[in-house]
Amino acid sequence: MPLRGDGRLNHDLMPGEKGPQDACGVFGVWAPGEEVAKLAYFGLYALQHRGQESAGIATSNGEQILVYKDMGLVSQVFDETALNALTGHIAVGHCRYSTTGGVTWENAQPTLGATASGTVALGHNGNLTNSADLVNLVAERYGAQRRGELARGNTTDTALITALFAGDADRTLEATALEVLPRLRGAFSLVFMDENTLYAARDPQGVRPLVLGRLDRGWVVASETPALDIVGASYVRDVEPGELICIDADGMRSERFAEAERAACVFEYVYLARPDNTINGRSVHSARVEMGRQLAREHPVDADLVIPTPESGTPAAVGYAAESGIPFGQGLTKNAYVGRTFIQPSDTLRQLGIRLKLNPLREVIKGKRLVVVDDSIVRGNTQRALIRMLREAGAAEVHVRISSPPVKWPCFYGIDFASRAELIANGLGVDEIGQSLGADSLGYITTEGMIAATEQPSSQLCAACFTGKYPIELPPDDQLGKHLLEQAELPLGPPEDGLKHLAVRTGGSTALDHP
């Protein structure tokens, strides 16, 4: 059985501690004459932080589409043999963390579906909020019998998009997309293709990032700019909110399916995106350093040393140190080879918790008054264990500074936080949280300070997880939830063999088989 990714990002330092989870990374390339599967592989490698549960790549040679996907990290799923079998001039890649549907092979992407004129392979970053309405639309248009990915047990909102892309007879995928995309609500950065064309689309709010790049002999679309860098593509621009991009032998063309109503996720700047990413013209690293500077202005303290929680707190700690004049130091060393362990620790080891990944540099911190900078607090278990460990190593004082406001609200647009009841900031005030953690003091950056560091207008950012103000209207509670499409009462009948709806000439008869 293959190793299964656990979806945890490097921010989670304790076994079993659930931090903020991102949705996915998407990558697409149109490049005749290039090894597009390998380009997609390295693009996904650069996006691995966005999802570690499963990975997949689809390619087209102009006549058929092949898909290879499995559970685990990109480097676990693919080898030279698999990549060499994925031939063609178009590729779509995906690495997943689940925000709808369970952690199963059936829910891995890219999804594959029949269209009126061929086949579509699709990768999705984000989370739709009107899935219940889309289920009814699928049933209305194509009947209650489950087809395609839905017939094979896929329970994601991505499968609903794929089903709706089936379209009508004699209608192109492009025309179908322009009709379907305005019906989607929530967050979606999509990269998809048929046998001849690569497509990219972004929701009208532009919640999740998506960028366009240029190769010498082709085009690339990706969730973040580092994925362009790794394949040697030059950044062209961000895909605009409400835009559909089409790339084929006739070149690149753009069509608008909705007017932009920008509400980009501010948490991308705080934590989710790689620090070497650029979002809407703003360097993520620079934004995080500035958050640290603002944090020092808002919450100064007399101390001897500023240390980060590796790696997520480092840029903000650099900014805090620069603004405060307190020296920056590495008070913690991280084991780079335990990003995830599949062996459950014994009770004795579990009590040591955080030491599996971090250990203090005693000679650096002993007797020092420390400022410990991190990007966010979710449950607080990690910070509590970290503070205890620093005190045991001889720290005289531990002052915690957080480069985002208290997380109080769930995200319905593609981040899987702990439940609202589990969020420590919902039950306690700032001073009470500090006492609970065992810190000498605790300071969070203000929402205004965080947003100012992004250099984006506050009216064009989503900060709902901090403020509770959701820019995209939410449906009733019973129409939300990660496992909505697994409910038996949905108006879709029992599965039938979805493969027979895919013509053999498209490669669909084997592309969905488990590798």
**What does the angle CA 466 – CA 471 – CA 475 come to, to the nearest 5 degrees?**
100
> Does 431 belong to an annotated binding site?
no
Catalytic residues: 24
Strands of the sheet containing 24-30, edge to edge, are: 65-71, 54-60, 90-96, 24-30, 218-222, 211-215, 234-238
Cα 469 → chain centroid: 21
472 to 205, 276, 463: CA distances (angstroms): 8, 29, 12
As a whole number of angstroms, the distance between CA 26 and CA 199 comes to 12
Contacts of 443 (CB under 8 A, 6+ apart): 295, 298, 299, 301, 399, 400, 401, 402, 430
> Which H or E run contains 178?
helix 173-180
Contacts of 21 (CB under 8 A, 6+ apart): 7, 8, 9, 97, 99, 415, 416, 417
> What is the per-residue pLDDT for 438?
96
Residue in this structure with the two tokens 């309405």, named with its chain if needed: 133
12 to 4, 9, 309, 327: CA distances (angstroms): 17, 6, 10, 26
30 to 57, 162, 196, 263: CA distances (angstroms): 13, 20, 9, 29
> Does 375 belong to an annotated binding site?
yes
235-251: pLDDT as tens digits: 999 999 999 999 999 99
Phi/psi at 236 (nearest 5 deg)?
A: -100, -55
Identify the segments of the chain with pLDDT beneath 70: 1-23, 98-104, 145-146, 336-354, 418, 478, 480-515
91-103 exposure pattern, b = at least 16 Cβ within 10 A, e = fewer? bbbbbbbbbbbeb
As a whole number of angstroms, the distance between CA 118 and CA 477 comes to 37
**Selection from 457, 376, 456 nearest residue 423 by Cα:** 376
Contacts of 8 (CB under 8 A, 6+ apart): 18, 19, 21, 52, 340
222 to 4, 50, 159, 191, 311: CA distances (angstroms): 24, 12, 20, 8, 23
22-69: pLDDT as tens digits: 568 999 999 999 999 999 999 999 999 998 889 999 999 999 999 999
> Which H or E run contains 206?
none
**What does the angle CA 3 – CA 6 – CA 8 come to, to the nearest 5 degrees?**
140
Other C-beta atoms within 10 Å of 233: how many?
Answer: 25
pTM: 0.87
As a whole number of angstroms, the distance between CA 73 and CA 96 comes to 9
> Does 246 belong to an annotated binding site?
no
- Say if residues 28 and 93 touch (Cβ distance below 8 Å): yes
> Does 95 belong to an annotated binding site?
no
> What is the per-residue pLDDT for 354?
66
Looking at residue 101, its amino acid is G
Helix axes 173-180, 157-164, angle to 10 degrees: 130
What are 218's strand-pairing partners?
Answer: 215
As a whole number of angstroms, the distance between CA 255 and CA 197 comes to 14
